[in-house]
A = this chain, B = another copy of it.
């Protein structure tokens, strides 16, 4: 049996891949960049970058998110780690994937220096992506769906003020399933929401009431109770 010296192991790099999910017009989308450099030049990819040698993983994910979108202080959720020896053509790169949930309409997307283009792409017509990014994206989406059922992350995707129907449509899209309106509202009765006096504008039907998630009350209640978001 051969023995490898400790330092010989230091021949690999880590990256973070940062899946940014957004929701708009009844669809969940992912923010992709068009690579302006080799390898996989001109292919669409999940925004990602190598981790600096003295940088924490989550910090790196937040940096990538900031560099790409200008967003700060977004909760990053660790997804999974992908490390097939040949997944990166230039060397051994193990990538830790994180995902963030944001409101698409809350900010303007700009292609940063090393990305040729940046675009929201619907999960339903995803092109072939660079590296193993199709795989990373689809398994991360599965993890998002798990989280949607157990934590109040849906409110990171919805606008700050939303109608109950928008709320329902998000779950209907994610789980590809229609829900009964009356029953859906009974189920969410336990989730603390703030009811505003404000209503929908410019709709040609009865305007819906707007709600916000009451995070503070939720967090106080979570200490002793457990919530579920299975719809």
Interface residues, chain A, with chain B CB atoms under 8 Å away = 4, 6, 8-14, 50-57, 78, 80-85, 90-92, 94, 96
Contacts and interface: CB of A to CB of B under 8 A. Distances in A.
Contact of A10 (B6, B13, B82): B13
19 contacts: A6-B13, A6-B91, A9-B50, A9-B51, A9-B52, A10-B13, A12-B13, A12-B51, A14-B83, A53-B85, A54-B85, A57-B94, A78-B80, A78-B81, A81-B81, A81-B96, A83-B96, A94-B94, A94-B96
A225 to B, nearest CB: 15
Stoichiometry (number of copies): 2
A168 B135 CA distance: 37
Nearest to A84: B56
Contacts of A52: 4, 9
Contacts of A4: 50, 52
Contacts of A8: 53
B12 A53 contact: yes
Contacts of A92: 10, 53-54
Contacts of A9: 13-14, 50-53
B6 A90 contact: yes
A202 to B, nearest CB: 41
